A = this chain, B = another copy of it.
Amino acid sequence: MTLNQLRTLLAIADAELNISLAAARLNATQPALSRQLRQIEEELGFQVFVRHGKSLAQITRAGGEVLARARAVLGEVRNIEALAANHRRETRGTLRVATTQALGRFVLPAALGRLRARFGAVQLRLRPGGGEECLDLLERDEIDLALVSTEGERPAGDVALPLFRWNRALVALPGHPLAGGNAPLSLTQIAQYPLIAADTATQADFKMGRAFREAGIEPNIACTARDADTIKTFVRLDLGIGIVAEMALTPEDEDLVRLPAAHVFPGCITWAILRSDRIQRDYVFELLRELAPTLSREEIDRVIHGERGLDLTSRIAHWAA
């Protein structure tokens, strides 16, 4: 059994049993993979994939177990490689991050810019997605790090490091009826006008929506959008008041009026989720420190190295640009 044979098995499984596709992904030829597959199946003594004629149809029961173990093997091999790269102060590498839109668009760029100073040659693979999607990618070991936000609660995942707190903000055109006053707005006042919110805001488990529901108020959601940029565009078209993460308001948005909303919507926390069974490259730690400057290296280490009970939510600060 060789590592390449195991890599072949996983590549084929991950390419939906298409050997040619798997070969292309591994920068190899298709006959090479066919041979590797034949050899490992010979050694195992049974087929990993069920053949339908000349193509592969499905994974055998025993094959599935082998694949799971093969993932563990290659994961540990990657751990050794990460370990070694850290030790020799390697600055090259890949950083695979899955994150929600607001974080990827408004928070990560600055942090990654600072990261570039020390790790110039890191290839970033940024994958946008919803919170659950990001955690799924982590589960499938396709990313190193998931960045997700919650309305306070600890997200799933075996290593969850809180990074910073943030609130939602309302944005309106300067001419909007609510834009002038200085007094804090009530839910009732807000609900009198059309609102523009994120797609996720309509989900039942979202506490923001619950804030309205519990107050017995039916908000008037004029439209929803997938990203904060779109929301701001709609606000500029005078379609309503926008509800966005405060990080989404940049100096370029000075044409809009920002209305505080921390008192009506629940506070949010952004978390970094990692796998406890993977050794992280140093630049992952560096990125985490960029994102959570109030945490000490030691606190981050303790969480990442599996201290489950440790609650650092009281140690993190509010987000600052």
- Interface of A toward B, CB cutoff 8 Å: 1-3, 6, 43-46, 62, 65-66, 69-70, 72-73, 76-77, 79-81, 83-85, 87-88, 90, 279
Contacts and interface: CB of A to CB of B under 8 A. Distances in A.
Contacts of A73: 73, 76-77, 80
Copies of this chain present: 2
Given A72-B76, A76-B73, A66 B45 contact: no
B70 A84 contact: no
Nearest to A63: B87
B3 A88 contact: no
Closest 6 CB pairs of A and B: A45-B88, A44-B84, A62-B87, A73-B76, A69-B80, A72-B76
A45 B2 contact: no
A1, A3, A80: residue with the most chain B Cβ atoms closer than 10 Å: A80
A279 B72 CA distance: 13
A91 to B, nearest CB: 13
B3 A87 contact: no
B88 A46 contact: yes
A45 B90 contact: yes
Contacts of A80: 1, 6, 44, 66, 69-70, 73
A1 B81 contact: yes
A31 B83 CA distance: 27
Nearest to A90: B45
Contact of A66 (B6, B46, B70, B83): B83
